[in-house]
Amino acid sequence: MNRSSARRPCAGRPGVERRTAWSRFGFDAAALSRPTAPVREILNLLGIILPVFLLIGVGVALRRLRWLTPEADPSLLRISVNLLFPCLIFQAVVGNAALREPGNLVWPALLGFGSMGLGWLAGWWTARAIGLERGRGLRTFAFTVGFYNYGYMAIPLVKAQFGPGTLGVLFVFNTGIEMAIWTVGILLLAGGSLRQDWRKIFNAPAVSLVLAVALNALQATPPAPVRATVDWLAGCAVPLGLVLIGAVLDEHLHDLRSLLAPRIVGAATLLRLGVLPVVFLAAAKWLPVSTELKQVIIVQAAMPAGVFPIVLARHYGGQPLTAAQIVVGTTLAALVLIPLWISFGLAWVAP
């Protein structure tokens, strides 16, 4: 045998020799070369939410190319709010067997409604604490920081991590959120009082929600052509909303420094991704609810501010720039904090 080969028994297998050398110091070279669990979670999250940002980017590109002009925004906003989103609500509610179970109907809906209300109340106090006033961003700050991304990010995360059972409970939970948005939320954003502006509650999404719940309780099935039409329109709601967000956001991207508002972004991030997750997880741990609902709450606790308030702020006379500052700031922070909060929540709520 060649003497040099005898001294190098793994000469043809350098990886084995490196693992042997690393193992002398207590390391596993293969493990070191693999990404850690938090890194994998972040990469997985990026893959899930990338289509959201790509559609927003499409909106930015369409505005830059002048294919989607500012003059078209009002009509598209009316179509989105008064037609497409009611169809999305109708699609999610009618035929949902979970909504016919009293327990699954009451708790998730109440917690969904209450979670939004809690966020808006905390957002109002926080906005006043940092010096915002009515007409100068107070209402938009409170609405946007309380309006978390319960759909665009939460749905794919719940589906990927917990499966269809928990996903069904999420849709029930989101029913309460939808009712909160199109009643209390619109009053908060648009201003006024319930006595003066009670008619604002009877907007198209709210009416469609009531009708859909009634039809579902009666187990009424719309004719197939009607259901197919509704499904097609519902499928346009999220993409069109994201494209419009990109088009509206483009106005602020010409001056990136306008998005750097440390007082607003810092307060919003601390509240949305620091304080409120603790409250959500405490509710998941100690409330007598199902395991599926606990899982839903854990995921929702980690969500950043939703993107739709940017569109709604323009539609209802709010401050789109304030909404954009909060959305961009909390979303960037969430890229790191989402896997951390979900991991902690699963360990603490259901060890």
CA angle 215, 219, 220 (to 5 degrees): 60
User: Picking from 24-28, 96-100, 164-168, 328-332, which range would have the lowest pLDDT averaged per residue?
Assistant: 24-28
pLDDT tens-digit profile of 177-207? 888 888 888 888 876 555 555 566 677 877 8
Instruction: Enumerate the H helices of 254-290 as residue ranges.
Output: 262-270, 276-286
* Rounded distance between C-alpha atoms, residue 49 and residue 192, angstroms: 36
Place of tokens 């109340």: 121
pLDDT tens-digit profile of 292-308? 899 999 999 999 998 88
Is residue 239 predicted with pLDDT exceeding 70?
yes
The predicted structure's pLDDT at residue 114:
95
Q: Tell me, what amino acid is at 19?
A: R
Taking residues 299-326, report their average pLDDT.
87
**Backbone φ and ψ of 148, nearest 5°:** -90, 165
* Rounded distance between C-alpha atoms, residue 192 and residue 306, angstroms: 23
Q: Sign of the CA dihedral 203, 208, 211, 213?
A: negative
Q: Is the pTM of this model over 0.85?
A: no
Q: What is the mean pLDDT of the chain?
A: 81
* Rounded distance between C-alpha atoms, residue 157 and residue 332, angstroms: 17
Domains (range + CATH), the chain: 71-349 (1.20.1530)
Half-sphere exposure of 119 (CA within 13 A, CB side): 38
pLDDT tens-digit profile of 113-156? 999 999 999 999 999 999 988 877 899 999 999 999 898 778 77
Is residue 53 predicted with pLDDT exceeding 90?
no
* Rounded distance between C-alpha atoms, residue 150 and residue 113, angstroms: 12
pLDDT tens-digit profile of 59-96? 989 999 999 998 998 899 889 889 998 888 788 778 87
* Rounded distance between C-alpha atoms, residue 197 and residue 177, angstroms: 21
Is residue 284 predicted with pLDDT exceeding 80?
yes
Count of other CB atoms within 10 angstroms of residue 214: 12
The predicted structure's pLDDT at residue 31:
46
* Rounded distance between C-alpha atoms, residue 179 and residue 313, angstroms: 18
SS3 label, residue 305: strand
Please give the helix or strand (H or E) that residue 237 lies within, else none. helix 224-253
The predicted structure's pLDDT at residue 277:
97
Question: Among 289, 269, 267, which Cα is nearest to 277's?
Answer: 269
CA angle 127, 45, 238 (to 5 degrees): 70
SS3 label, residue 40: helix
Residue length, the chain?
351
Is residue 15 predicted with pLDDT exceeding 60?
no
Q: Averaging pLDDT over each range in 2-11, 78-87, 275-284, 326-335, which range is the top one?
A: 275-284
Q: Residues near 260 by Cβ (< 8 Å), separated by ≥ 6?
A: none
The predicted structure's pLDDT at residue 92:
77
The predicted structure's pLDDT at residue 283:
96
CA dihedral 250, 252, 257, 261 (to 10 degrees): -130
User: Picking from 23-32, 114-123, 323-332, which range would have the lowest pLDDT averaged per residue?
Assistant: 23-32
Buried b (16+ CB within 10 A) or exposed e, 130-143: eebeeeebbbbbbb
The predicted structure's pLDDT at residue 184:
87
Share of the chain above pLDDT 90, in %: 30
The predicted structure's pLDDT at residue 27:
44
Is residue 245 predicted with pLDDT exceeding 70?
yes
DSSP 8-state code for residue 257: G
Is residue 223 predicted with pLDDT exceeding 80?
yes
Instruction: Enumerate the H helices of 101-223 as residue ranges.
Output: 102-129, 138-146, 154-162, 164-180, 186-190, 194-197, 204-217
**Both tokens assigned to 142:** 């409170």
* Rounded distance between C-alpha atoms, residue 259 and residue 289, angstroms: 40
**Backbone φ and ψ of 305, nearest 5°:** -65, 140
User: Picking from 25-39, 67-81, 221-235, 337-351, which range would have the lowest pLDDT averaged per residue?
Assistant: 25-39
Burial category of 128 from C-beta neighbours within 10 Å (exposed 0-12, middle 13-18, buried 19 and up): middle
